[in-house]
Amino acid sequence: MCGIIGVIDRKRELMDGSSIKRALSKMDERGSGEGAGYVAYGVFPEFKNYYAIHVFFDNIHESKAAVDHLLSEWGIVVHDEEIPTSDHAKIRKIHTPWRYFFKPDATLMPRSTAPEEDIVAHIVMKVNTTMAGVLVFSSGKNIGVFKASGWPEDVAEFYKIHEYKGYIWLGHNRYPTNTPGWWGGAHPFNLLNWSVVHNGEITSYGTNRRYIESYGYHCTMFTDTEVVAYLVDLLVRKHGLSAEMAVKALAPPFWDEIDRMPEKARLLHTAIRLAYGPALMNGPFAIVVANEDSIVGFTDRIKLRPLVSGEYGNRLYISSEEAAIRTMEPDVENIMMPRAGSPIIGRLVV
Neighbours of 341 (CB within 10 A): 19
The least distance separating other proteins from the CB of residue 152, rounded to whole angstroms, comes to 15
What is the per-residue binding string for other proteins in 121-160, x denoting contact by CB under 8 A? ----------------------------------------
Distance, CA of 116 to CA of 212 (rounded, Å): 20
Distance, CA of 140 to CA of 121 (rounded, Å): 10
Cis amide leading into 330 (omega within 30): no
Helix (H) or strand (E) holding 194: strand 194-200
The least distance separating other proteins from the CB of residue 76, rounded to whole angstroms, comes to 32
* Interface with other proteins, residue 85, by CB under 8 A: no
Within residues 214-243, the interface with other proteins by CB under 8 A covers 214-215, 238-242
Contacts of residue 103, defined as CB under 8 A and 6 or more positions apart, other chains included, come to: 49, 50, 51, 75, 76, 77, 78
Distance, CA of 222 to CA of 31 (rounded, Å): 19
Cis amide leading into 188 (omega within 30): yes
Active site residue: 1, 2, 125, 337, which one? 2
Measured from the CB atom, is 28 or 105 closer to other proteins?
A: 28
Q: Tell me if residue 219 is catalytic.
A: no
Neighbours of 175 (CB within 10 A): 16
Within residues 298-327, the interface with other proteins by CB under 8 A covers 301-304, 306, 308, 321-324, 326-327
* Interface with other proteins, residue 179, by CB under 8 A: no
Helix (H) or strand (E) holding 346: strand 344-347
Ramachandran class of 105: left when φ > 0, alpha when ψ lies in -120 to 50, beta otherwise:
beta
Within residues 17-36, the interface with other proteins by CB under 8 A covers 26-27, 29
The least distance separating other proteins from the CB of residue 213, rounded to whole angstroms, comes to 7
* Interface with other proteins, residue 277, by CB under 8 A: yes
Interface residues with other proteins (CB under 8 A) are 26-27, 29, 177, 200-201, 203-207, 209-211, 213-215, 238-242, 244-245, 254-257, 260, 264, 267-268, 270-278, 280-284, 301-304, 306, 308, 321-324, 326-327, 335, 337, 339-340
What are the residue numbers of the active site?
2
